[in-house]
Structure 1
Amino acid sequence: MHETIEVLIIEDDQRIADIHRRFIDKIGGFTVVGSANTGAEAKDWIEALQPDLVLLDVYLPDMLGTELISYIHEHSGDSDIIVITAAAEAEIVKKAFRGGVADYILKPLTLDRFRESLLSYRVKREAFAGEGKLPEGSIRLLWNKTDTASAEPAATPKGIDPITMEKITGFLDTAEEGMTAEKIGREIGVSRSTARRYLEYLVTEKKAGAELIYGMIGRPERRYFLKKP
C-alpha cells in the first residue's frame, strides 16, 4: 500500500491551482494540504506544513518561484519540488535544474502529463523507502524517467482557436516593445491564463519570442513579441 504524499500547491492563478487539485484527486495517493498564491504566503505554508511535494509556479506576484527553491531546501529539507510553469527561458530552467527539482512541466498542462510526472515521482520516492544500500536499478531510476514516451515532442495543444490567435498576433504585431499576457487578455476579452496559453504556443512554434523585463519596482514582467519574417 502506497503512503499518502502531502502536496503544497504554489500558484498565483486560483483557477489553475484548482485544476491541480482536481488532477491530484483523480490520481489518488496524493493529498493537497495547502495552497499559496504568493511567495510570502508560500514561505509560511512551507515552514508550517513541511510538505512531501511542492508544485511550484515560476510567475508569482511578489517573486519568481525559482527564488523559493533554496528556501524550500533550507526550511523543509525533505520536501521535493515539481515546477509547473509557462516559463521556458534558459536561465530559469537552469536554476530549476541546478536546484534539484524532480520535474519541470510546461503549461498548458494536461492530465496525462501531470499523472506521468506524479506517478514517476512516487516511484522514485519509494526507492528511498528501504534501508541500507540501494540496488543499482533503483539508483539509475532516480535520474531517469520511468516512461520514455514523455521525451517525444509535444503535440499541438487542443483548443487553439484561429480567430483568437489572429487577434493576439494582430496586437503583438503593433507592439514594438512587446506585450504581457495580462494586457493582451484585457484587449481581446480573455483571461490572462488563456492569453498566456496562446502566447506560449506561439513561442513553441517559434513565431513569437518572450523575455523578462525588470522594472524599478514589483515583479518582472514577461513580455511577448512577434518574430518578423
Structure 2
Amino acid sequence: MIRVLVVDDDFMVARIHTRFVEQTDGFEVVGTAHTGADALRLVEELTPDLLLLDVHLPDQSGLDVLSRLRAAGHRVAVVMVTAERGADAVRAALHGGAMQYLVKPFEQADLADRLHHVAAALGVLGALGGLDEGQADQAVIDQAFGAVAGRGAPAAALPKGLSRETAELVLSAMRERTEISASEAGELVGLSRVTARRYLEHFVDTAAAEVRLQYGTAGRPARRYRAR
C-alpha cells in the first residue's frame, strides 16, 4: 500500500480527497493536515510515501512546503491538488519536483489516474534503487524518467534547437489541460509563443499530441493542442 498524507486547509475538501484516495486500489490515507506546519510535522512523524498538497494554506504556501521538504532531503512523492492555475505556481511545482499537478475541482477518476502514474513511478524508482552502482543502462534511465513524469519520455530525436528538458515541461503543461494553445503553453513554461509552438508541433508530428482548429469570427483559426 502507498501511504498518503492529505494536506488541504478546507476540512470538507480534505475529507473528500481522503475518500477519493481510499477508493483507489493500492493507496491508504495515514493522516491529514490543514496547515503547512502540520504537513511538515506529519511528514516527519508518519513518513508517508505521498503527499496530496494544496498550494493555498493558511500559514505558508504549499509550494514553500514542497521546497522545504526537498531542502531537508525528503524524497516523499508530491501531487499538487489545488485551484491555483497561475503559471508561476505550475513552474514552481515542476521545478520543485512535484510528480503531478491536478486542478480543483476534479472527480475521483481524475485523481485515481494521477495516483496510478505515481504508483508506477515509485515502482520504477524502487527497482532502480536496488541496482548496484553502474548497472543502470540508458533504457532503465529512460524508463525511470518517463515513469516519474507519468508518461513515456518525449521522442529521443528532437528537432535542432529543442531540448529534452523543455520538451518535458511543455508536454507536462499540455497534459494538465484539456487543450492548450501555443500562447498558453509558452506562458506556463516561460517560452515565447513561437518556441512553444515548435515543441507542440513536434508532439503532433510524433503522435504524442493532436491538434484541433478552433474557428472564430475573424482571422485565422486558432490551433489547440491535446496530449494523446
Which TM-score applies when normalising by structure 1? 0.60
Tell me the amino acid that sits aligned with residue 112 of structure 2: R
Structure 1 position 67, deviation (Å): 0.6
> Matched residue of 1:129: which SS?
helix
Contact 2:122 / 2:148 at 8 angstroms: preserved in 1? no
Question: What is aligned with 1:105?
Answer: 102
Question: What is aligned with 1:92?
Answer: 89
Structure 1 position 95, deviation (Å): 1.0
Tell me the amino acid that sits aligned with residue 96 of structure 2: G
Question: What is aligned with 1:118?
Answer: 115
C-alpha RMSD over aligned residues: 2.3
Residue correspondence of structure 1 range 8-87 to structure 2 within 5 A: 8-75=5-72, 77-87=74-84
Give the Cα separation in 1 of the matches to 2:40 and 2:21: 22
C-alpha deviations, 1:154-175, integer Å up to 9, x for none? 39xxxxxxxxxxxxxxxxxxxx
Change beyond 3 A, Cα 1:70–1:54 = same
In the alignment, structure 2 segments of 5+ residues that lack a partner are 153-170, 180-228
Tell me the amino acid that sits aligned with residue 147 of structure 2: L
Give the Cα separation in 2 of the matches to 1:152 and 1:68: 22
In the alignment, structure 1 segments of 5+ residues that lack a partner are 156-229
Change beyond 3 A, Cα 1:102–1:13 = same
Matched, 1:141 2:146: yes
Change beyond 3 A, Cα 1:90–1:83 = same
Tell me the amino acid that sits aligned with residue 151 of structure 1: R
> Which sits farther off after the overlay, 125-134 or 46-55?
125-134
Counting matched residue pairs gives: 151
Question: What is aligned with 2:207?
Answer: none
Contact 1:46 / 1:76 at 8 angstroms: preserved in 2? no
Give the Cα separation in 1 of the matches to 2:43 and 2:68: 9
> Matched residue of 1:33: which SS?
strand
Give the Cα separation in 1 of the matches to 2:59 and 2:177: 33
Identity of aligned residues (%): 30
Give the Cα separation in 2 of the matches to 1:145 and 1:74: 23
Give the Cα separation in 2 of the matches to 1:142 and 1:122: 9
